[in-house]
Amino acid sequence: MNSFINKIFIITIITICFGFSTFAGGIKGTVKNTHGEYLSFASIIVKGSSKGTMANEDGKYELALDPGNYTIIFQYLGHKTLEKQVVVNNDYLPLEIVLEEQAISLKEVEFSAKSEDPAYTIMRKAISMARFKILELNEYSARTYVKGTGQVSEVSGLIKMLAGKKIEKESGLKIGQVYVLESINDVIFKQPSSVREKVVSTRNNLPKQLQSQGTNFIPVSRTNFYNPKPFGDMVSPLSPTALAYYKFKYEGFFTENGQTVNKIRVTPKSKNDNVFDGIINIIEDSWYIHSLDLHFSSDNISNRIKMIFAPNKEIWLPINYTFRSDFDAFGFKGFFNYVTNVRNYTVAVNEKYHQRPVVIDEKIDKAEAKELKSEKVNSKIALNQKQVTRKQLNKFLKEAEKEDKKERKKKGEDIDLVRSYNVEIDSLHSKRSADFWNEERQVPLTDLEIKGYAQADSIAKTNEQQYQKDSIRNLPAFKFSHLIFGKTYNYGKRDDLFGFFNKSLSYTSPLDQIPSLDFVNTVDGYFLKASLRYDIREKLTKRQSFYGDLRYALGRKALNWNLGYYYLKNQQSIEVKTGRYIQQFNDDRPISTPANTIYTMLAERNYLKIYQKDYASIEYRNRLSEKVTIRLNLEYAERMALKNLETFKPWIDVKDRSFSSNTPENAELANTDFEKHKTFLTEGEIIWRPFAKKRKFNDREYTINTGNPIFRLKSTNGLLSESQFSRLQGSYEQFFDLEKLGNLHVLTNYGGFIQKPNYFIDYRHFNGNQTILRSFRFDAFRNLDYYLHSTTGNYLEVFAQHDFNHFLLTQITPLRIYGLKESVFANYLKVPNQQFEYVEVGYGLSGIGKLFGLEVVGNFVNGKYDATVLRIKFNR
């Protein structure tokens, strides 16, 4: 199943639903507009409290209330807010609500003399205040109701014929079935980065295959449009770089509770640049988001985000969020709907950032800005009602955040921790009573969801039986077919949060070699492989694995094997291996097995060069901090040369062509063949990320180093007298995000030998390529011989690739929207020992058919043009 299909199924899986509400009293009904159209996901709030709900997709709502008098607020994007006085008794009070469209007015005075659209001034001011909106919340807590609903409604005849039964068997999904997953989650946020989410209760009608993969809850959306990138790589209209991506148009204003709300049309300057299209409503003077309705498309999927905000302690916070995704691509059609409704906000405000200055736009109000230019604004000055320029606001923020960082450091807080997220699932999450759900459910089910959820009780019983079976901790029943097709046996306790089992035993059969084209070469002839792996997992911070591989070469009648043990705890890992196995001369394995099989059997070209080694090794890795990682590898081995089989024949015999020797050709060494010998290798590496930060997920730390450099220093040594050598290499790597200009990836390796090796295996090899299939590795040349320029001397490698948002063909909007991407690259290698200097430059186009890309590469040797070649790369 390809990655796109997996994405669709994961999306479809993240859906939820649940039963009918049977509250004793409250209000219920529908919300429509004046044309009689139902308003999906309209907001319903009890004024003066944190109680509230949302209408469902069909415009129906239901809210349980104790007997009493209430003021109910009904809101919907683009419509007038309606307040309704109600008296609730012991029964439900039916309220059929009709919301009028919001009357939009145009300002006549403020902007009449301005040539620029007034939306730009509004957005510049809102952008300058966006960071304040993030920092003004010291902490908050809330209870949320989250629901996801999804369906694969149609599958093309071809997909049904080729993979329909397999899809349903592996995922458990039924085409046309509506799947629902709903969750009650408590969320606690604390500055600067801590989020704790507790899943109080969940209900769903997902098939057990998906539940076993960890699809047991749905998290609260933390999409925040005050962040520069609120949703993946999507650029917010309030990002500091927004003016480079968007055009803004002022469409008027409306008043709500005495406040002026500006309606701004957001339009991308160019499509498919990770941008939104739609409406954002900004509150005048305070510059909060009032609401938004934005669209974007990706991979033939149409997406729409809606958010409604409401004030809490004068801070406008999101109270409901809806995300709708409709897909119709690659033979699959369906939808995914996600809803979050937030209530019970408890907010603690940071007064330093809870400011309401009078923001002066330097571009428009030049005279006022000039007068304020000399005034000093520092982090200790209150800005409320004070006139300040956007530059002064930026300076205030920098000083204030610098002071905060110092204070946190004094308190002993980890200032390098930029994000911490912890999620836990209540032990009673699947056992909450109907009364609990009747009280907590925020969004009524639609008819489609009710129909899809009708199977939930029987599914729950089936799952309960399966859980009981799993808890017995016995292997599932063995079947003879498992030997042929492979099998993973799961047992032990299953993790409620991630869905994995505490223990698993996996067997991979020789049949898995066929799709990966890994079953033949000129040394082994045809060969069979099988593997066995036993995993023990404890949350995210501890894992153990025992594994073994068997490989029988039919042609040379030789058995190869590996045995290994891997242990991970927190940031340290150790791996011990031993065996008799085959290996490429270049440990980086530049020749892929599919490419080698295709060229060997169809073109009589055997680029793969291998040898056999009996070995024992141990590797230790320790992430000392987010900035420093160390790695040490020790290996003792006896290495033996291998020859091609004399009787080996390809599928297609190419005239006047024969297989090359399994001994590589090299410019420095006339004969690279070797006698059987022993070696003891050591390799130590230090990886330094000087500007890295870190994040935590359930107490496991991860490094964040996007856009920052990585430096590596690696020492490789042979210690036995017959195979003694010493090599040192330094590396620099960095990924530059150039915003609209795309991104640039650069890697440089410089190294050499302090003591030269005796055996060709220990030379410094480079990742070449001589096939039309391009390696996925970034540090790989497109048209360099695999071993001809391997060296015992100094060397310099440089790799650089620039991926463009717009370049040549991607200037054509339909092609860009389709998903085509362009890149240019240049790679360089210098080997002074051989007086060899190699340069290749090229142009690449990816996203063709969503599956592969093409590259045209020209290369030069010692300053002279050598060749132009075509390369194909497949999407991973």
Domain ranges of the chain: 3-103+444-453, 118-355, 570-874
**Cis omega before residue 192 (within 30°)?**
yes
Task: Tell me the pairing of strands 572-584 and 610-623.
Answer: antiparallel
In whole angstroms, give the CA distance from residue 537 to residue 550. Answer: 24
Mean pLDDT value of segment 356-362: 90
User: What is the reported pLDDT for 461?
Assistant: 53
User: What is the reported pLDDT for 502?
Assistant: 86
φ and ψ at 861, to 5 degrees? Answer: -115, 120
Mean pLDDT value of segment 188-214: 82
φ and ψ at 309, to 5 degrees? Answer: -115, 155
User: What is the reported pLDDT for 635?
Assistant: 98
Q: Lowest mean pLDDT: which of 461-475, 494-508, 650-664? A: 461-475
User: What is the reported pLDDT for 100?
Assistant: 92
Question: How far out from the chain centre does Cα 138 lie?
Answer: 28
Mean pLDDT value of segment 74-94: 90
Confidence of residue 19 (pLDDT cuts 50, 70, 90): very low
In whole angstroms, give the CA distance from residue 598 to residue 381. Answer: 71
Please give the share of the chain, as a percent, with pLDDT higher than 70: 90
Give this prediction's pTM: 0.85
655-660 long-range contacts (CB < 8 A, ≥24 apart) are: 657/604, 657/605, 658/604, 659/522, 659/600, 659/604, 659/605, 659/606, 660/605, 660/606
Q: Which residue has the higher pLDDT, 580 or 706?
A: 580
Tell me which residue of 144, 231, 233, 234 sits closest to 196, measured CA to CA. 144
Q: Lowest mean pLDDT: which of 68-77, 247-256, 486-495, 839-848? A: 486-495
Which residues touch 433 (CB under 8 Å, ≥6 apart)? none
Mean pLDDT value of segment 67-88: 91
Q: Is the pLDDT of residue 211 over 80?
A: no
Q: Is the pLDDT of residue 463 over 60?
A: no
**If you write DSSP's letter for every residue of 563-621 in order, what string do you get?**
EEEEEEETTEEEEEEEEEEEEESSTT--S-HHHHHHHHHHH------EEEEEEEEEEEE
φ and ψ at 625, to 5 degrees? Answer: -160, 180
Confidence of residue 812 (pLDDT cuts 50, 70, 90): confident
Q: Lowest mean pLDDT: which of 83-97, 229-243, 466-480, 488-502? A: 466-480
In whole angstroms, give the CA distance from residue 763 to residue 716. Answer: 11
Mean pLDDT value of segment 805-816: 83
User: What is the reported pLDDT for 161?
Assistant: 58
User: What is the reported pLDDT for 104?
Assistant: 84
Mean pLDDT, rounded, of the chain: 87
Q: Is the pLDDT of residue 20 over 50?
A: no
**Do residues 801 and 855 touch, judged by C-beta distance below 8 A?**
no
Max mean pLDDT among 48-57, 115-124, 527-536, 804-813 falls in 527-536
Q: What sign does the CA torsion over 113, 119, 124, 130 have?
A: positive
CATH 2.60.40.1120 fits 3-103+444-453, yes or no: yes
User: CA-based Rg of the chain, rounded to a whole angstrom?
Assistant: 32
**Do residues 727 and 749 touch, judged by C-beta distance below 8 A?**
no
847 to 232, 326, 498, 740, 818: CA distances (angstroms): 19, 21, 32, 19, 8
Give the CATH number of domain 570-874. 2.40.160
Mean pLDDT value of segment 457-467: 50
868 to 86, 767, 841: CA distances (angstroms): 78, 19, 10
In whole angstroms, give the CA distance from residue 448 to residue 266. Answer: 33
User: What is the reported pLDDT for 159?
Assistant: 61
